Amino acid sequence: MAEELLEQFATPIVPTEPVIEFRGVSKTYPSGTHALEDVNIRINKGDFVFVVGSSGAGKSTFMKLIMREEKANTGTIMVNGFNLTKMPRKQVPMLRRTMGIVFQDFRLIPTMNVFDNVAFAMYVVGESGREVRREVTDALSKVGLGEKARCMPMQLSGGEQQRVGLARALVNSPDLIIADEPTGNVDPNMSYEIVNLLTEINKRGTTVLMVTHDHNLVRDFKHRVIMLDEGRIVADNAAGGAE
Amino acid sequence: MKLSSMRYLIKEGFKGAWANRLMSLASIGVLVACMVVIGLAILISENVTMAIGNLEKQNVVMVYMKDYNWALYGDTESEEPESAESTESAENTENTESVDDTSSENAEDTVDENGIKQTDYVIHNEEEAAALCDKISALSNVESVEYISREAGLETVKENMLDGQEEYFTFLDDQYGNPLSDAAKVTMKEMSLFDETIKQIEDIEGVGSIQSYGGLAEKIDAIKQGIYVAGFWIIAILIVISLVIVSNTIRVTMYNRKLEISIMKAVGATDTFVRIPFVIEGVIIGLISALVSEGLIYFCYRVATEKIEVMLGSVVAFGEVAVYLLLVFVAIGIFAGALGSAFMIGKYLKHEGSEFTAI
C-alpha cells in the first residue's frame, strides 16, 4: 500500500536547487526507539510541504534533524547548503539563521511587547538598532499586525500571537520556514488565515515546511504532502490536496 | 561583535539581575560575607607586617655582661669561661687589686658562699664593665653605648612596675640582693647590619647575653606566615563558596529565562551570545558585592581601630590599603561572577538548553 502510494505520488525529479535533502537517513534514539528509517526526500527551493502523520510517526524527529537539534545515525542530510551530518556544533547557529521557526505554542516572551518580541530575533543575531526597526516594522505589516506593535502578547488573540511568531520567523529573511503545527493552538478560522499567510510568504520564494494534524487544511490547500508512518515515508503527494 | 549588540547584552544582564533581585540579593549577601572575611584577613596580615616592621626598626639592644650575677643566676653551663678568659680576668684582678701574685691566685681559687669562684665570671668591677663598653663602642656600626649598672637597672625595673609592685622588688633586693647583671644599652647606626653587629658584640669577651627584638620579630614573622597559610586556605574555600552561590543564582535566572534561551537558539544565536547576559549578571552581582564589602570593611575597621590603636600604639591607616582591598574585592567579584555564571550556562547549553523545541 505504502509502496503503491509512493509510486503514485512520487516527486518528479526536477532540476531545481534542493533546500532539504535526506539520503538514506535513519535515526535511532539511545533508548532504542527507531524514529526514522531509511528516509530519502528532496524538498526544492520554493516548495510548500505539509508533513503529516500520526503521533509517533517520526514527524518531530524529521523536523529536529532539519534544525540540527538531533543528528542522524546514518545517511546524509543537506539543508540550505549545509551538510548536517558533517557540520561541527559551532556552525549550527549559522544554519539556523537561514531558517525561521514557528512553534505551536507561539513562544512569545510575555514581558516584551509585540515589536520587541520580533526584534529579539534580530538582536540575538547581532543586527543593529536602525535595521531592526525597519525590518520589524516590515515583518509586522506583512502579517497584518503593524498597528499592534506596542501591544503585549497577552492582549492578543491566539491567531494574532501566532502571527507575531510568524513575523519573528520572517524578520531575518530566511530561505526556509519551518512551522511545527502552527495552527495547533488557534481556532479553525485563524488556522486558515495562518496558512494563507504562509502561502503568501511561499509565493515570494521562501520554502515552507509545515507539520500539521489538520486534515481540512491539507485538503483545502493544494500543497505537496509528505506522509510519515512508523519512521518511514509512506506517501509523497506533490499535487497535494489528499492524504 | 557590534556595539549595539553589546549594549543590548549589557542591558539584558542588568535586566536579569533586577528581575531575579531576591536571589541576586542573597548572592550579594553571601559574597559580601566572604569578601569581608578575606578583607579582614588582609588587614590583620598588613597590621602584623607593620608591627614586625616596627619591632625590626628598634635599633637598640641590651647587652648583659658576664658578671657575678650572670655566674650565679645565668645559664653558664654551656658557656664555661675559657682558659684565656681566666688568664685575662686574672690579669685584670691583678691590675685593679694590686696585690701580690700568690694572694691573687688564692683569691681566684677562693669559692664564696654561693659556690662562685672569681674565674667563673669575666666582669668583676665597673672598670671592666667600662672597658667592655669601650670595646662595643669601637665597633663600626655602633652609634652609642650607655652603661647601665645593675643598680640602675633595678631602679628602672621598679619604675616600670605598677604602683605597689615595686615593693616586691625592693623586698627581693633587700633579702637576696640585686639579681640583675650589669648591662650596656647599645644603639646601632644601620639596621641592615643588625645581625652582623650582634654577632660582633657576641664575640666580645665578657658579653653574656643580648636582648633584642630580633627574636620577637622572628616569632611574629612565624605567626604572620601562619596567618598567610590559614588566610590562603580560608580565601580559597570562600572563593569556591562564592562560585557555588553565584552559579546557583544564575541557574535560577537561567531557568526563569528558558523561553528566551530557546528562542535565541532557534533563531541562531551563538552559545557565546546566549552566555554573555548571564555572565554580565554574575559580574554585576560580583561588583556590587565588592563595593558593599569595601564600605562595610571601612566601617568595621574604623570602629575596631579606635579600640586597637590604644593597645597597639599604631595601626595601618585604611586609606593605605583601600585601593588594594577594592582591587582584590573587584577581582574576586568578577572572577566568581563571571566564572560561576559561565560554568552554569555552559552546562545548561550543553544539556537541556540544546533542545529548544521541547522546553
Closest Cα to residue B12, out of B256, B281, B341? Answer: B281
Q: Does any domain span residue A144?
A: no
Written as tens digits, the pLDDT of chain B (359 aa) is: 666 677 777 888 888 778 778 888 888 888 898 889 888 888 888 887 777 777 666 778 888 888 887 777 766 555 444 444 444 444 444 444 444 444 444 555 677 777 777 777 777 788 888 888 998 999 998 888 998 888 888 888 777 777 767 677 777 777 777 778 888 888 888 767 778 888 888 888 888 888 876 666 667 777 778 877 887 888 888 888 888 888 888 888 788 888 888 888 888 888 888 888 888 888 998 999 999 999 999 998 888 887 776 666 678 888 888 899 999 999 988 988 888 888 888 888 876 655 666 65
Give the range of the structural domain holding residue A230, as residue numbers without chain letter: 1-91+215-237
Closest Cα to residue B22, out of B244, B253, B191? Answer: B253
Question: Total structural domains in chain B?
Answer: 2
Grid cell for residue B117 = 669562684
Last residue of some domain: B182, B212, B242? Answer: B212
Question: A125 — contact with chain B (CB < 8 Å)?
Answer: yes
Question: B1 — contact with chain A (CB < 8 Å)?
Answer: yes
**Rounded to a whole number, what is the largest CA-CA distance in chain B?**
117
DSSP string for A199-242: HHHHHTT-EEEEE---HHHHHHS--EEEEEETTEEEEEESS-S-
Closest Cα to residue A114, out of A158, A157, A145, A135? Answer: A145
**B69 and B192 belong to one structural domain:** yes
Angstrom CA distances, A76 to A86, A127, B311, B315, stand at 9, 32, 81, 74
Q: Does any domain span residue B78?
A: yes
**B263 and B166 belong to one structural domain:** no
**B191 and B71 belong to one structural domain:** yes
Region A47-51 average pLDDT: 94
The chain B residue lying nearest A69, using CA atoms, is B355
Q: Determine, for residues A96 and B267 on separate chains, whether the beta-carbon distance falls below 8 Å.
A: yes
Last residue of some domain: B169, B190, B212? Answer: B212
Better-predicted residue by pLDDT, A128 or A54 = A54
Contacts of residue A172 in chain B, CB cutoff 8 Å? 267-268
DSSP string for A22-66: EEEEEEE-TTS-EEEEEEEEEEETT-EEEEE--TTSSHHHHHHHH
**B30 and B162 belong to one structural domain:** no
Contacts of B107 (CB under 8 A, 6+ apart): B93, B97, B99, B118
pTM of the model: 0.64
The 10s digit of each residue's pLDDT in A146-176 is: 999 999 999 999 989 999 999 999 999 899 9
Q: Does any domain span residue A168?
A: no
Question: B357 — contact with chain A (CB < 8 Å)?
Answer: yes
Region A77-81 average pLDDT: 93
Q: Does any domain span residue A3?
A: yes
Closest Cα to residue A57, out of A241, A233, A180, A235? Answer: A233
**B36 and B114 belong to one structural domain:** no
**B52 and B65 belong to one structural domain:** no
The residue among A89, A123, A127 with the most chain B CBs within 10 A of its CB, best to mutate, is A123
pLDDT score at B310: 64
Q: What is the CA radius of gyration of chain B?
A: 35
Our CA dihedral for B18, A128, B348, A166, rounded to 10 degrees, sits at: 100
**B137 and B13 belong to one structural domain:** no
The chain B residue lying nearest A92, using CA atoms, is B268
**B247 and B199 belong to one structural domain:** no
Q: Does any domain span residue A81?
A: yes
Question: A14 — contact with chain B (CB < 8 Å)?
Answer: no
Last residue of some domain: B158, B179, B212? Answer: B212
Give the range of the structural domain holding residue B151, as residue numbers without chain letter: 60-212
**B136 and B255 belong to one structural domain:** no
Question: To the nearest whole number, what is the mean pLDDT of chain A?
Answer: 87
**B168 and B226 belong to one structural domain:** no
Q: Does any domain span residue B342?
A: yes
Q: What is the CATH number for A3? A: 3.40.50.300
Instruction: Give the SS3 label for residue B208.
Output: strand
Measured between CB atoms, which of A64, A90, A128 is closest to B357? Answer: A64
pLDDT score at B106: 56
pLDDT score at A16: 65
pLDDT score at B202: 87
Question: B114 — contact with chain A (CB < 8 Å)?
Answer: no
ipTM above 0.85, yes or no: no
Question: Total structural domains in chain A?
Answer: 1
Contacts of residue B8 in chain A, CB cutoff 8 Å? 123
**B264 and B347 belong to one structural domain:** yes
Sheet holding B142-148, edge to edge: B142-148, B183-188, B60-65, B207-211
Q: Does any domain span residue B77?
A: yes
Q: Does any domain span residue B359?
A: no
Q: Does any domain span residue A208?
A: no
**B176 and B307 belong to one structural domain:** no
Can you tell me the distance from the alpha carbon of A73 to that of A28, in angstroms, rounded to the nearest whole number?
A: 7
Closest Cα to residue B228, out of B42, B47, B52? Answer: B42
Region A97-107 average pLDDT: 91
